[in-house]
Amino acid sequence: MLRLIAPDIRFHTSFVEALGEFGESSRDGSGDYAFDFTGLDDPDRFGALVDALRADALPETPRDEAFVPCTYLWMTEDDRFVGFLAIRHELTDLLLNQGGHIGYSVRPGDRRRGRATSALHQSLPAAAGLGIDRVLVTCDEDNAGSRAVIEGNGGLYEDSRFGKRRYWIDAASA
């Protein structure tokens, strides 16, 4: 059964394996745009990343002014890392137009098995707990799989901007 958990060093090996599966493709919800994902074979570097990801949810954590506090969650199944999910606590102009409150990605070998649908569903109460009653989730125009995930979780299409479909989900009733 899929679970969303806070980043944890117990998943070091399967996390690094997942990065290899992703290769150069997008890892939405991972935090790789804000944190250094190099050299993670080293347990100390991996531990530092886990600590940084966990701390990013705290408003007092220093961060670049372009970034907002973010709760990073990992999709796990049977003690194995299977994907990323991030809940951004606020919307900047960029996030309002393209990124949304929640971003996610499932490792390539684990896709098309309902994991993203389950993870998004599980994340909605957490978003509501952060005071985000209406959650914005976006996907690429041509990403039919993500579109189905969002719509399957009650996403209501608003419009498209910059190649992204924008959906709102009522997290308060999730």
Domains belonging to the chain, first-starting first, are: 3-173 (3.40.630.30)
In the sheet where 80-88 sits, what is the strand order? 3-5, 70-77, 80-88, 102-106, 134-140, 164-170, 156-161
Residue 4, judged by CB atoms within 10 A of its CB (0-12, 13-18, 19+), counts as buried
pLDDT digits (tens, 9 = 90+) for 49-99: 999 999 999 999 999 888 999 999 999 999 999 999 999 999 999 999 999
- For the question of whether the overall pTM of this predicted structure is more than 0.85, the answer is yes
pLDDT score, position 41: 92
Rounded Cα gap, residues 169 and 173, in angstroms? 9
**pLDDT beneath 70: ranges in the chain:** none
